Amino acid sequence: MQWDKLLSDYRLFAPSSPEPSVRSEFRRDCDRIIFSPSFRRLKDKTQVFPLEKNAFVRTRITHSLEVSCVGKSLGSSAGQFLCKKYPKLAQKISFSEIGDIVEAACLAHDLGNPPFGHDGEEAMRDFFRSTDGQSVLDKLEINSKDRQDLENIEGNALGFRICTRLESSDIAGGLRLTAATIGTTVKYPCFAADNFDAANQKKIYKKNGIYQDDKENFQTIFDALEIPEIAPNCRLRHPLSFLSEAADDICYLIADLEDAYQVGQVSFSTASAILNELAKDFINPEIIKEINSKSDYLAYLRAKAIGKIVFETLQVFQEKEEELLAGKSKTPLLAEINSAKTLQDLREYSVKNIYSCRSVLEIQVAGYEILFGLIKIFCNAIAEISCRGEQASVREQMIFQLLPERFRRNADTNYRRILAVCDYISGMTDSYAVSLYKKLTGISLAAN
């Protein structure tokens, strides 16, 4: 791979057009994402604590903004390194524009997350793998490759659809982000049906990141970036995607600990001890001894911990840059920093003591039931209408009519109709999903 190709400002279905402003093409990407309805809906989507009323606690939108800040720092610093190492590259792009690319990818990284986060994803997958779901897929005669998309529903794949198709759906190319930004956003550049290394009998990537329905757009963008295949329909990762991945992991690991303290799930002594260990020599003892507020104390440690890990991540990126460019490394950058063991300890602590606490689990179970129930209701209606046409029950026809017209508009095959349901449900906020489920199941009705 070559950096000048990887930083392409090509836009899907439209050449980049200069405008009378100081914005770079990649800064325009950031603005388009922030002003999109999909980004605004993240304000009512779960980060860790579902439907939390404490305004201090992060939602997907605050998480995404924080990730973008860290991504901007990582991208700009990496850009300085690249522009110094490759003088010809510096003649075409500035280090701050490289920062804009990573920032934009970080802003977009959670756009495809369904209500109730990964539990919502799991509920949707489980439906299609269930007896009822398999019956629906059989009735609709969904082929093997398309089935694998549905049985492996992925927020990452939906994020690609939002950026290239669903947002601004009347315009070909959706948000029409630059190829560099989209490439940096795609963490798993492969399809579910092709995500397997037969020689080694294991998955190529941890997950799939693209649906069959988006194959043409995926190929066009990755061809523009000149990112090669490593297997049929499976590409190498964009090197900058390792920075956006690191920014996400840095923020959720450290910020989730801070949120857990605010909701009383973790004690101050535990949170401060963990953050002290992470921040270590980045802490100014003269400043910290003046802080009396426990919240401010943890905020200071959180900032210093992030600063230290960013510094270590950049060191690893610089050391591995040629390997990443050659596609010879798949290891996350955070796995190779000096603080890797401390971060892994934090990850394991969080899984045991934060993500599995009773208050979180109770709502996650409810969220799972809601997402499973919604997708079952809509998919059963589509199967009934496909098989019986106008003879389908009035209820099933009414349910199909509830699917917004913009999702039904291009649903010209059964596979696309099911994907349209997944797009619609995944795009809901937590509160809307709860409300709609209650209405459709008769638990509550809207008052006049």
DSSP assignment of 275-310: HHHHHGGG--HHHHTT---HHHHHHHHHHHHHHHHH
Residues of the chain short of pLDDT 70, as ranges, are 15-20, 46-57, 356-357, 359, 445-448
Which helix (DSSP H) or strand (DSSP E) does residue 229 occupy?
strand 229-231
| Residue percentage of the chain with pLDDT more than 90 | 64
pLDDT, position 104: 97
> In this predicted model, what pLDDT tens digit does every residue of 266-306 receive, in sequence order?
889 888 899 999 998 898 988 988 898 988 989 999 999 99
Angstrom CA distances, 439 to 34, 241, 310, 311, stand at: 31, 41, 46, 50
- What is the set of domains in the chain, with CATH numbers? 3-113+155-235 (1.10.3210.10), 245-353 (1.10.3410.10)
pLDDT, position 173: 85
Burial of 390 (0-12, 13-18, 19+ CB in 10 A): exposed
445/448 Cα distance (integer angstroms): 9
Residue 410: HSE in the Cβ half-sphere, 13 Å Cα cutoff: 10
Neighbours of 134 (CB within 10 A): 15
186/110 Cα distance (integer angstroms): 11
pLDDT, position 195: 92
pLDDT, position 448: 42
> In this predicted model, what pLDDT tens digit does every residue of 84-122 receive, in sequence order?
999 999 999 999 999 999 999 999 999 999 998 888 899
